[in-house]
Amino acid sequence: MQLSEQTIAFIGAGSMAEALLRGILGAKLTEPRSVAVLNRNNRDRLAELKTAYGVRIPDSEDAEERRRLVRAADIVVRAMKPKDVGAAMAEFGPALRPEQLVVSVVAGLSIGTLERLLGRAQPIVRTMPNTSSTIGLGAAGVACSASVSAAQRETALAMLRAVGCAVPLAEERLNLVTGLSGSGPAYVYYLMEAMIEAGVAGGLTPAEARELVVQTVLGAARMVEATGEDPALLRAKVTSPNGTTFAAIGVLDEYRFREGLLQAIRRAEARAAELGEEIAAAALGGLPPGR
């Protein structure tokens, strides 16, 4: 079944939910009338999304109406904040049907934790797109539970590829992906901050430095994409022996730039695992032992 033939309910109405909304509607994968968005207590935000995208929202704050929208959907996108997982599962978990596809974009929330909260196996796709998804250039790893059918997997990938690239992976790799591409935009912004600072220190205006740095980073990324060449090879091509780039790379090596970045990614991966444990402890705290 194509995505255009299915209905979607978003639980949560934050920036990631909006990014996915914008992507799937902009790509015309479905119609606004096939999408419902709900949250627990922010009617103004729901009204804003209805005005912007034409999606459906609950007519009232009645909990049973919210559950009805979830129960009727073919796909349920869980896009709430991690701290709200327990409350959301208490409210909406009983409304989920066993065959529904659940797409979880809650950072750190494992498939195992979700299934324990539900008390059964469920078709679940776990992912965490990065912030570049808001402009259609996101990157995400995607993991599926054993209950996800081939058709459901392709449906989820189509949704996520509407906001960037989506790479199917084993779930145990998702924390690494969080450290690599989830936090990755921040590493690039940090690099850009330093480059702009160097330009200003050398006499450029902030606007001049910013324009040059933005175009440099954009051009470098596009070169990797357009040529298909390994970044190491492209770097070697612009690093003439004893030239300016050679001298600059030498300084970065002295400051152990590569090692620092590798350690940063590993630390982010470890922190993602820690957060997952914290979320599981908070969300599962009220369950009886063994469930």
- Domain membership of residue 175 (yes or no) is no
Q: Is 51 exposed, middle or buried (0-12, 13-18, 19+ CB in 10 A)?
A: exposed
Tally of domains within the chain: 2
Angle between the 15-26 and 150-161 helix axes, to the nearest 10 degrees?
A: 100
* Domain extent for 220: 183-255
Lowest mean pLDDT among 58-62, 68-72, 203-207: 58-62
Report the predicted TM-score, pTM, of the whole model to 2 decimal places: 0.89
Q: What is the CATH number of the domain that holds 222?
A: 1.10.3730.10
35 close to 21: Cβ distance less than 8 angstroms: yes
My answer on whether 52 and 142 are in the same domain is yes
State what percent of residues in the chain have pLDDT above 90. 80
- Domain membership of residue 280 (yes or no) is no
Nearest-angstrom CA–CA distance, 258 and 263: 9
Structure confidence by residue, pLDDT tens digits, 158-171:
999 999 999 999 99
Q: What is the CATH number of the domain that holds 98?
A: 3.40.50.720
My answer on whether 123 and 202 are in the same domain is no
Predicted confidence band of residue 287 (pLDDT cuts 50, 70, 90): low
Decide if pLDDT at 156 tops 50.
yes
- Domain membership of residue 190 (yes or no) is yes
Rounded average pLDDT over 222-248: 97
- Domain membership of residue 216 (yes or no) is yes
My answer on whether 91 and 140 are in the same domain is yes
